[in-house]
Chains A and B, each alone.
Chain A
Amino acid sequence: MRIRFLIGLALVLIVFTQCKDENQTVLEKKYIFQVPMGFSEPILRKDNPITFSKIALGKKLFFDPILSLDSSISCGSCHRPQFAFSDPNPISPGVKGKIALRNAPSLSNLAWHPYFFAEGGSPNLEAQVLGPVEDQNEMAFSIVKAVNRLKDNSTYNQLFQEVFLDSPSVYTTTRAIAAFERSLISSNSKFDKYVLEGDKAAFTPVEKRGYELFISDSLKCNTCHSGFMLTDFSFQNNGIYEIYEDPGRARLTLNDTDRGKFKVPSLRNIAFTGPYMHDGSFKNLEEIIDHYASGGKNHENQSRKIQGFSISEEDKIALVQFLQCLTDSVFIGNEVY
């Protein structure tokens, strides 16, 4: 009888050890990527299915300075949850007093971004991880050396084993961070309720006036800041300078006609993501409106969509109030993220 029990136990153990990955993934509660109303299908990767444990590991990595040269800054140092994962500094400080190249963008709804960085050079969230880790003005480290640190860390080794059934590697590290970043979904603003969910009581009359101005033929804000993401992801020179020190998209294309062009940012949570523009040179929403009303500095590559307009103080207040309707108070500073 005893030997039958032992044999039965051995059989069970063999089945479990031989198909370790299949059985372990079955044990985890399935993560279902919720597509908010009015959103299109997200860009998800088959080689990086999202799980709760992977998001948790990615979050730990995101806020851990272990990935920077001197272990002084993390992704979360410049992408702070209470500012919709942006930075109130015009340009974020990197390691050893270095200054990054550009204003840190807000992070939300990244599963709908077709490319990353202001010149659009990084094709997906996994590859994007290399950017800040290896930028000499940001975390100034090597992704390989960063992963070696994770391998030397027993906690991370255990977590990676639980999530990937594998030790830390560049492959698994980038996928964990990307999974966390894809989980940053912001869809609970008044804009979502009014425009995407059809709740016509969501806006006050002043906010509604602001929205009408936003999409009006005279202001045409929505020609670039369009759709549920409030960006068309095009590259535009918005004429804030006569001479651009930052080449913008020309850094990638080497084409002078792209000089000073940057990816149009999403306006979601814009009230929390200042200062604004690629270099953080505009302090508040009123300065932005004044700039577009002025018609820009007429750089040779300036978008023809920027023609200038006149706006009353009352309408400017309404437009600002509409922009504040893009705030998702559930998202800002949510400890889940």
Chain B
Amino acid sequence: MKTLKYGLFTALIALSAISCEDDPDPVVTTTTEEKASLHLHIDHKFNTDNFSLDQNFTLTSGEVVKFSTAQFYLGNYKLMDDAQQMTGFPDSYLLVDPTVSHQNIGEMDAKHYHMVMLNMGVDSTTNTDFQPIDFADSHALAAKVNNMWWSWNAGYIFFKLEGEIDHDADGTFDDVFEYHIGTNANRLDLQKMLHKDVAAGEMLELDLTVDYAKFFNGLDLSIDLQAHMGPPAIVASLKANAALAFTLD
């Protein structure tokens, strides 16, 4: 009986092993000790103040703004070594709002790195070929309640800023602003020279500062209140302002 039980147990194990040929091969993992890791810290600011939603901030014009939404995509991280070999971090997209202050991006070989690059926005292949409906609900690029896409148009909204403006700072908000910027032409490429040897087990830390005050540079807030794909002039200003708002250290 004992032999029979053992034989059947073996048969069950063997059957379970061969019955689903599509089961993925076991992933060979490298221990963390052999790898280095990449980490991002995000500092949300409004000029020198800490930034948060639903808080009043005063622009240099004297106008008061309050944000109800401020979110953007970060991703497409790449580390380049001196031989211009790239280390990518697939699936590293993150939807950032003011409550998000860090991201563990992934692991990489321990070696000398020359430069780090990333996108504020979504890379052109993903932005062109995929839609929020193509991702599992838990994915950063999946559909969200506070959506980051135009439902009538393909492609992601790269950054979305919404809120209210009190033009004369009398305590009453007069207008709402809505800036939804996307399309491949408006992706922001961020990069930083590293020139750094990264040892096994070491965490390479990046610091990203987002200064939300910079988004309003040069806008006439009496009229430049909305941007949804267009109008081109406001979109161009916001793209230029995004380059000022994001600082990678």
Query: Residues of A at under 8 Å CB distance from B?
Result: 3, 7, 10-11, 14-15, 18-19, 22, 47, 117, 119, 121-124, 126-127, 129-131, 133-135, 142-145, 147, 169-171, 174-175, 251-252, 254
Contacts and interface: CB of A to CB of B under 8 A. Distances in A.
B126 to A, nearest CB: 13
Interface of B: 4, 8, 11-12, 15-16, 19-20, 131-137, 142-145, 147, 149-154, 229-232
Is chain B's interface secondary structure helix, strand, loop, or mixed overall? Answer: loop
A288 to B, nearest CB: 26
Given A14-B12, A126-B131, A170-B132, A121 B152 contact: yes
Given A15-B19, A144-B145, A127 B131 contact: yes
Contacts of B154: 121-123, 127
Contacts of A123: 131, 154
Query: Which 7 pairs across A and B sit closest by C-beta, in order of nearness?
Result: A121-B153, A134-B151, A130-B151, A127-B131, A254-B230, A174-B133, A170-B143
Contacts of B131: 123-124, 126-127, 130
User: Which of A14, A47, A133, A145 has the largest number of chain B CB atoms within 10 A?
Assistant: A14
Contacts of B132: 130, 170
A18 B16 contact: yes
Given A7-B8, A121-B154, A169-B137, 11 more contacts: A19-B20, A22-B20, A47-B134, A121-B153, A122-B152, A134-B147, A169-B136, A171-B135, A251-B152, A254-B230, A254-B231
B147 A254 contact: no
A214 to B, nearest CB: 32
A18 B149 CA distance: 38
Nearest to B131: A127
Contacts of A119: 152-153
A147 B132 CA distance: 14
A40 to B, nearest CB: 23
Contacts of A169: 136-137
Contacts of A133: 151
Nearest to A132: B151
A25 to B, nearest CB: 13
A169 B134 CA distance: 11
B145 A171 contact: no
A11 B133 contact: no
B12 A10 contact: yes
Contacts of A19: 19-20
19 contacts: A3-B4, A11-B11, A11-B12, A11-B15, A14-B15, A15-B19, A18-B16, A117-B152, A121-B154, A122-B153, A123-B154, A130-B151, A142-B147, A145-B145, A170-B142, A170-B143, A171-B133, A174-B133, A254-B229
A15 B15 contact: yes
Contact of A130 (B8, B16, B143): B143
Contacts of B133: 126-127, 129-130, 143, 170-171, 174-175
A130 B149 contact: yes
A254 B181 CA distance: 14
A254 B143 contact: no
A135 to B, nearest CB: 6
Nearest to B23: A18
Nearest to B9: A7
Contact of B137 (A7, A131, A145, A171): A171
A134 B4 CA distance: 61
Contacts of A22: 20
Contacts of B142: 170-171
B132 to A, nearest CB: 7
Contacts of B137: 144, 147, 169-171
Given A11-B15, A142-B147, A131 B152 contact: yes
A144 B19 contact: no
B147 A252 contact: no
B61 to A, nearest CB: 28
B198 to A, nearest CB: 37
Nearest to A167: B137
A119 B16 CA distance: 52
B40 to A, nearest CB: 26
